[in-house]
Amino acid sequence: MSYFHNSFDYGGGGSGYGVECNFHTTDVLVEDNVFDSLRHAMMVQVGANGNVFGYNYSVNSVQSEGGPNLNEGWIPPDISVHGHYPFMNLFESNIVEEIGIADYWGPAGMGNTYFRNRVNGEGIFIYDHSHNQNIIGNETTFIIDDESNSYDLIIHGNEVSNSIIWDPEFPKELPPSLYLDSIPDFFYHEYWPIFGPDVLRPLKLPAQIRFENGFPTIIPGSQ
């Protein structure tokens, strides 16, 4: 339940990140956090594998190198699968503006899964021979294989610009979660899952509610 925001330096790259898993990092859970005004909120690269990013809220991605207009220009991906073969990572039920799969430094490794996320901005982009990615049950504006050179993708049950697109090779029933057996204990309401093709009501993440209410992190003793 942390609050990552407004980096002290954005530089020309390599700065302004939220949580970055790299160099074979594994078995890390990044859950129920707020990310605000960062270049990349959540990143895996350089062989990171088996990590989970769940139920995080990211807004106001920063493209520029500083100055008064940090949030102007193109939108860098909040979820950045940054290259050098990160594999078998899970991104579940996050709210972000963009997901970039291998947006820099070569292809993503196999088995990264993007499940029940809400992508409010430019969409989900796949680059650079990033084979065997699983993009399932997301709400997004676009899903684009930018160079049409990534193979064996599972793209199934996504709501793309208000139209649900199913792959007939797979069942339409999706589990609520790929890493939880029951509703998270930090939820404020009884509805779960909260994103996906089978969710009929508009719902918010607990992290989003905290951010919008002006209390992005939990104060000890406040609950």
32 part of a folded domain: yes
pLDDT for 180? 98
**CA–CA separation, 178 and 91 (whole Å):** 10
- In this structure, is residue 217 part of a structural domain? no
Residues 35 and 18 sit within 8 Å (Cβ to Cβ): yes
Q: What is the pTM of this model?
A: 0.93
pLDDT of residue 7: 81
Residue 223 lies in a domain: no
Number of structural domains, the chain? 1
Alpha helices in the chain (DSSP H): 206-212
In a domain, 29, yes or no: yes
Residue 66 lies in a domain: yes
Q: Residues, the chain, total?
A: 223
Range of the structural domain that residue 122 is part of = 3-212
Q: Answer yes or no: is 220 within a domain.
A: no
Q: What whole-number distance in Å separates Cα of residue 120 and Cα of residue 142?
A: 10
Is-contact 78 42, C-beta < 8 A? yes
Q: Is 218 inside any structural domain?
A: no
**Assigned token pair, 174:** 């999706």
pLDDT of residue 72: 63
Q: What is the pLDDT of residue 93?
A: 98
Q: What is the pLDDT of residue 73?
A: 62
Each residue's pLDDT, cut to its tens digit, for the chain (223 residues) gives 899 988 877 766 677 889 999 988 999 999 999 999 898 999 999 999 999 999 999 998 887 654 555 656 677 899 999 888 999 999 999 999 999 998 667 889 999 999 999 999 989 999 888 999 999 999 999 998 877 789 899 999 999 999 999 999 999 999 999 999 999 999 988 899 999 999 988 899 999 999 999 989 876 655 5
- Residue 23 has a pLDDT of 87
Let me know if residue 221 belongs to a domain. no
